[in-house]
């Protein structure tokens, strides 16, 4: 998983958060777990046995790892192309190429994140920090994309201190915001922050197409797509990885949605007592 640079609003500096992904450790863990599998089924896997899942995961991890180098080369070529295009149609084509490369990068990252969390290959780094640091980074990362779709984007300022893994929390919120951007055609996306006694609630609110009641129990499952809604180039892993991160960090998830009106995704975490 790529590292995330999170700005500290109180100091105006950039906090560099190192990546804790190590492919060799992931591959070794998957092999060891497969060899000592219990014979049970993996949760949220549609009844796939643990050993079968882990053997598949080893192949997927190797493929994702090998894809990273050519994807990085594609990114460099795509950026170079922007500087030599001359006509408006060429600029449009260059932009579409960059978007496609970005989508491929995200697919690989989501797959690797899924495998890391399932294999316990990701070591949570629990520290105390202001949630505002993460929210500002999310705003900086998504504002161009949101504005490009003609949507309004608002993130409420919040300075509450939390104890969590900064990178994982950033990825969970980013996945929820990305989901909102994907399925909102007009209107607004808002990230709200509510501080309650001993708890902090973060809400991602959109005016998107909404989710049917019968689909809500399944939206955090791996590769789940709602017919007629979740289509195209998305794997259906973004929300599934939010579920994995929430489970690891002890965050409670909740969803409220209405078709044609929009959705509210909520993350509730316990605040440190000191």
CA 210/CA 102 separation, integer angstroms? 25
66-101 b/e (C-beta count within 10 Å ≥ 16 → b): ebeeebeebeeebeebeeeeeeeeeeeebeeebeeb
69, HSE (Cβ side, Cα atoms, 13 Å): 4
**Residue segments in the chain with a per-residue pLDDT below the cut of 50:** 1-21, 228-233
End-to-end CA distance of the chain, in Å?
31
DSSP, collapsed to helix, strand or coil, labels residue 204 as: strand
| Of 124, 221, 226, 219, residue with least CA distance to 168 | 124
The pLDDT value given to residue 133 = 93
The pLDDT value given to residue 219 = 87
The pLDDT value given to residue 22 = 52
The pLDDT value given to residue 70 = 80
Q: For 170-210, what is each residue's pLDDT tens digit? A: 999 999 999 899 889 999 999 999 998 899 999 999 999 99
């Amino acid at each position: 998983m790529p590292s995330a640079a999170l700005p500290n609003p109180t100091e105006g500096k950039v906090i560099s958060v190192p990546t804790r992904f190590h492919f060799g450790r992931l591959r070794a863990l998957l092999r060891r777990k497969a060899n000592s599998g219990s014979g049970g089924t993996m949760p949220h896997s549609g009844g796939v046995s643990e050993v079968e899942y882990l053997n598949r995961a080893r192949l997927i991890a190797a493929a994702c790892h090998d894809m990273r180098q050519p994807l990085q080369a594609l990114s460099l070529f795509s950026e170079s192309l922007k500087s030599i295009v001359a006509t408006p149609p060429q600029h449009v084509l260059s932009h579409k190429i960059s978007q496609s490369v970005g989508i491929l990068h995200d697919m690989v990252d989501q797959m690797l994140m899924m495998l890391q969390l399932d294999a316990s290959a990701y070591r949570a780094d629990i520290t105390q920090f202001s949630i505002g640091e993460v929210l500002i980074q999310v705003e900086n990362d998504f504002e161009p994309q949101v504005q490009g779709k003609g949507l309004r984007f608002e993130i409420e300022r919040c300075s509450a201190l939390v104890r969590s893994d900064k990178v994982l929390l950033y990825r969970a919120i980013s996945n929820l915001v990305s989901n909102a951007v994907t399925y909102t055609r007009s209107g607004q996306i808002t990230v709200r922050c509510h501080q309650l006694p001993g708890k902090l609630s973060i809400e991602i609110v959109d005016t998107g197409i909404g989710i049917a009641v019968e689909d809500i129990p399944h939206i955090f499952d791996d590769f789940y797509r709602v017919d007629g809604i979740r289509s195209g180039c998305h794997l259906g892993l973004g929300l599934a990885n939010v579920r994995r991160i929430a489970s690891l960090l002890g965050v409670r998830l909740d969803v409220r949605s209405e078709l044609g009106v929009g959705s509210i995704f909520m993350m509730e975490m316990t605040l440190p007592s000191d």
